[in-house]
Structure 1
Amino acid sequence: MSGNGLTVNVKRGFGAKYGGAVRGHHLTSSQDVSDSFRSVAIDPPLGIKMFSRNEMDRTCTRSFFQLNIRLNMYWAAVEQLHAGLNIWDITGVCLESTYVDNFPFAFEFFNKWAAELDPVTAGGGFSIFHEGLDSSDTNEFRESTFGRAIKTNKERYSAITNAYSGQGALMDDLEAAIEGNVKQRVIQKGFNDASWRIVPGNYERFITQIDPETTSEGVWRVKDH
């Protein structure tokens, strides 16, 4: 059943599980999570009740995640909150390394905001500045300049990041960039600043930056991260 079908036909509320695309920063199709969940999870239409969860599984043990586990845990928390997911189901292996690898802040931030879904009763909001180089966006990155907009076009990713290289954008693993998010979590050897169908703007909850494209400039690899 589609999202519209659920909101029309399910009257007492429903639960949803989402995995994969929000288990690592800038994985393929992570924007789809936001598009499919935000409209019913955050400030939902009158009468709609939804709860949702995502799994951490053993992704935290993968080489890509271990490149900078604190950074990856932070973005995993942020991307889930942006989509409106309110239960983060953490595997024991990940929990056991929380204080060893020093990332309790990721869980604390998630727990603070996961239940704040109603702007009337919420204890505030957040706007985390972010610019995602979404290679599927042909308005922002015209095919005449950056090449054909297909997921497997590695040259397009390179062309996009090259345009922002003065601001630090890079592609560490072009081969992984063209894969789906499940495979990316296993094989990716570095961070990619351009990807396919990723969240292009800020990660937000009840606070929206005014005219971000004209009032700020994206930077990447700050302090080599």
Structure 2
Amino acid sequence: MTYRCQIKQPISEGTKVTEDQSVAMARTTKNSEIIQLAKQLKGTPWCEEYERMISGMLYNPLHPPLLAGRHRARCLLHKYNNLDPNSKPYDELMATQQEMLTDILGKVGPGTFIEPPFIPDYGCNVVIGENCFINFNCTILDTSLVIIGNRVQLVPNVSIYSAGHETSVLSRIKFVEFGDPVYIEDDAWIGGGSIVTKSIRPYAVAMGAPAKVVKKLQTVEEELADPNNAYRNMPDRQ
């Protein structure tokens, strides 16, 4: 798989939107692109309600395969978040954590590390690219897919929500929910305590609740071409 995360999804037919084109309500049709992406992921609780869920349609969160999927995540996360650091040397511990992450997440690239505690809802709907660092206490409600590109950094206490609810009280009584995918593209940086509910473009610094882009970073090529850049002559880390 190529871990480069590209946001090229226009708002599709069947999605109700407000004037500013932000998603306001659940979709009325399945999202074939998201479904095809999900077929590449590990551990998905595949069923009709799962397809509706990741597509952004109203779905039943109490459907047994979805309950089993969340239970699977809780079991794997209990082991990951409670791994005893005294049990083995740091290099063996990190190797064990990396192996656990490949079971928890739908896909994860090499060089990516997540500090525990880490709290995704399903885990299988999360894709993370190469050489990312996610600091302590990250929560991901991956009702739909959450796709994180390469070299992304998340400061402590970041939350990413692809889950949504109608404001209707009756919808809550009926136990129906919906989601909307979140993409965080390559080289983005998310500030501490941020709540990410919308997609973030590459080389963006985003922060706040909800997270908003506050700065556009130079590309790697631009930094290397800048004679005043303090990092360009440093040796690469192996």
Settle same-fold status: TM greater than 0.5. Answer: no
Q: Which has the higher helix share?
A: 1
| Greater RCO, 1 or 2 (C-alpha within 8 Å, sep 6+) | 1
Q: Which has the higher strand share?
A: 2
Query: TM-score scaled to structure 2, two decimals?
Result: 0.23
The structure with the largest alpha-carbon Rg is 2
Query: TM-score scaled to structure 1, two decimals?
Result: 0.24
